[in-house]
Structure 1
Amino acid sequence: MSGQQETTRLFLALWPDPAIRHQLREWRDAWGWPRGATPVHTDKLHLTLHFLGNLPSSRLSELRDGFSVPFDPFRLELGRAVMWPRGLAVLEPHGEPPELLALHARLNEALVTLGLAPEARKYRPHVTMARRAVGAVPPTAGPAVTWEAQGYALVESRPGDGGGYIVLHDYGSPPA
Structure 2
Amino acid sequence: MNQPPQPSPDSARLFLALLPDAAVLEALAVHRDQWQWPAKVTRYAPADWHVTLHFIGSVARSRLEELRAALALPITPFALGWGRPELWPHGLAVLCPEVVPEALQRLHTQLGQALQPLGLRTDPRPFRPHFTLARHAQAARLPAQWPVFNWPVAGYALMESTGQAGQRYRVLQSYGPAV
Pairing 1:60-75 to 2, within 5 Å after superposition: 60-75=64-79
Shift of 1:70: 2.2
SS in structure 2 of the partner of residue 141 of structure 1 = coil
Question: Aligned residue for 1:11?
Answer: 15
Question: Aligned residue for 1:105?
Answer: 109
TM, length-normalised to structure 1 = 0.92
Shift in CA distance, 5/42, structure 1 to aligned 2, threshold 3 Å: closer
Aligned equivalents of 2:45, 2:33: Cα separation in 1: 11
Alpha carbons 1:24, 1:145 under 8 Å: kept = no
Q: Is 1:45 aligned to 2:49, yes or no?
A: yes
Question: Aligned residue for 1:25?
Answer: 29
Alpha carbons 2:84, 2:147 under 8 Å: kept = no
Question: Aligned residue for 1:171?
Answer: 175
Question: Aligned residue for 1:148?
Answer: 152
Question: Aligned residue for 1:88?
Answer: 92
Q: State the identity as a percent.
A: 45
Shift of 1:5: 6.9
- The one of 117, 121, 129 aligned to 2:121: 117
Shift of 1:161: 3.5
CA RMSD of aligned residues (A): 1.4
Q: Give 2:121's aligned amino acid.
A: A
Shift in CA distance, 140/113, structure 1 to aligned 2, threshold 3 Å: farther
Question: Aligned residue for 2:5?
Answer: none
Q: Give 2:41's aligned amino acid.
A: A
Structure 1: 5+ residue stretches without partners: none
Q: Give 1:106's aligned amino acid.
A: Q
Aligned equivalents of 1:130, 1:45: Cα separation in 2: 10
TM, length-normalised to structure 2 = 0.90
SS in structure 1 of the partner of residue 124 of structure 2 = coil
Q: Give 2:156's aligned amino acid.
A: Y
SS in structure 1 of the partner of residue 26 of structure 2 = helix
Aligned equivalents of 2:169, 2:123: Cα separation in 1: 21
Aligned equivalents of 1:10, 1:145: Cα separation in 2: 29
Aligned equivalents of 1:86, 1:164: Cα separation in 2: 21
Question: Aligned residue for 1:57?
Answer: 61
Q: Give 1:102's aligned amino acid.
A: R
Alpha carbons 1:10, 1:53 under 8 Å: kept = yes
Question: Aligned residue for 1:134?
Answer: 138
Q: Give 2:104's aligned amino acid.
A: L
